[in-house]
Amino acid sequence: MPKGEELFELMENDLHLREAVEEWALFLARGVYSVISMFDPQVVLIGGGISEQGENLSATR
């Protein structure tokens, strides 16, 4: 199974993979929003491979 960064590279040429990653990103965003709504934190930190995707992750809309 490819690692996260490989998936972001592969999704450029694979429509089905791109749709799956976009759906995953939507679920991630909803989860982060829920945590913010419940706990009202001053800061939300996302680390690891997700945070390293920058442009790739913001392009999944």
Domain boundary assignment for the chain: 1-56
Q: For 4-24, how does the pLDDT look when each residue is reduced to its tens digit (9 = 90+)?
A: 778 888 888 999 998 988 898
Question: What's the rounded Cα separation, in Å, for the pair 42 and 25?
Answer: 22
CA atoms 30, 5, 20, 11: torsion sign: positive
Which pTM was predicted? 0.71
More confident residue, 16 or 61: 16
Pair of tokens at residue 21: 């990653």
